[in-house]
Amino acid sequence: MTNTTGFRSGRRSFMRAIGAGAATIGVSGLSATAGAQDEGDEPAGYLSLIYDDGPAEDYEMYQVHRRYDAPGCIAACPGLINSSSEWLSSGRLLEMSDAGWEVMSHTVDHRALGEVPIARDIEAGDTRIYPEVAVHGRFEGDPIVVFDETGTEAEATVAGNGEDGTGSYIELEEGIAEGFSAASTTRVRYTEEFLREILADSQSRLEGYVGEGQVTNFIYPYERDDGLVSELVPEYYAATPQRDGVGLNPEYQPEPYGLGRRYMETDRMDEAEIETFLDNVAEEPDYGILAGHSQYDTLPPERVDFVLDQARQRNIEVVTVQEALDVFGVTDAPEPRVSANESGEEEAPGREPGEEGSMGLLDRIIAFFRSLFS
């Protein structure tokens, strides 16, 4: 298999040099970086682009990024990878990772991990509970817990969800053991054991595709980060960019679990707003994070091309989130890991010896060199 360690570690050393104020050079000395700086120039700022969910359309965004030699970030759900033509294949995910893209965890099947307030009183024995939104009822068999400020809690198993004349509800397999009053302090979430299982399993399965130790950051589905999950995530991940409607973060000692991101979709920002945003990135000591969903009509490739072109015009360096954290001295980016098969030949990370997967050897070699010279 092609060994991309030299390319990726070279890019990482290059980014550290930028952070130390060194002269900017091309990646591996071969091409200009995404900010299109002249040799000897330092970038005016740093920008990351994150694409949520891992749909097949992310590969189109990858092609746009390649024209600017700019990496991106994919917040992927391993339960959706390879599941249908609507989602990325593991081969394309690996190709993008090998080209310098960051793969971030987005849970296994896009579950909402935060807490939701209970909207209607619950009586002991009820088989329907009414939260403000029934996102925890999407998957049958999921273990949930209802709790309040007094310390009272009751676990239950999801049988489904729906909506009736009362509101959105979660159907339970059996009647709940305790009663609760509707209040902002009465909430429902997944059990701690299940939350930990999701956080660990998502990371492990993605690393099975792109390499051990390569999935270091997390994006909360539905932007729900409240409650216990925010206490658990730091045990598994280094950073959690979250929508704050601003997307500008300090370059000096940024808070990795308080990073803000802003959606760049056409119904969230117009071109003038994007230009103003990038002006702030270039003129202030700010690190910008933009995000979107490439499967939506509101994020066509032309919008991404516009963002990258405007970033290049302002001498802004496009980096992954993990590269930015490395540059800012927050946490080191992981080193790529490779394994060796019995013959001593290097294999792609996360792949059994001799297994080519959905992307063949020749395709991987071509993709790698295209990423260098495009």
Q: Which is more confidently placed, 1 or 41? A: 41
- Measuring CA to CA, how many Å separate 165 from each of 168, 180, 217, 223? 9, 20, 40, 27
Q: Which residues contact 283 (CB under 8 A, 6 or more apart)?
A: 44, 45
Token pair listed for 151: 């310390």
Q: How far apart are CA 255 and CA 270, in angstroms?
A: 28
Picking from 86, 162, 81, the residue whose alpha carbon sits closest to that of residue 129 is 162
pLDDT of residue 248: 98
Tell me the one-letter amino acid at 38: D
Average pLDDT over residues 90-108: 98
pLDDT of residue 336: 60
pLDDT of residue 334: 75
pLDDT-wise least confident of 45-49, 77-81, 340-344? 340-344
pLDDT digits (tens, 9 = 90+) for 267-324: 999 999 999 999 999 999 899 999 999 999 999 999 999 999 999 999 999 999 999 9
pLDDT digits (tens, 9 = 90+) for 187-232: 999 999 999 999 999 999 999 999 999 999 999 999 999 999 999 9
Q: What SS3 state is found at 236?
A: coil
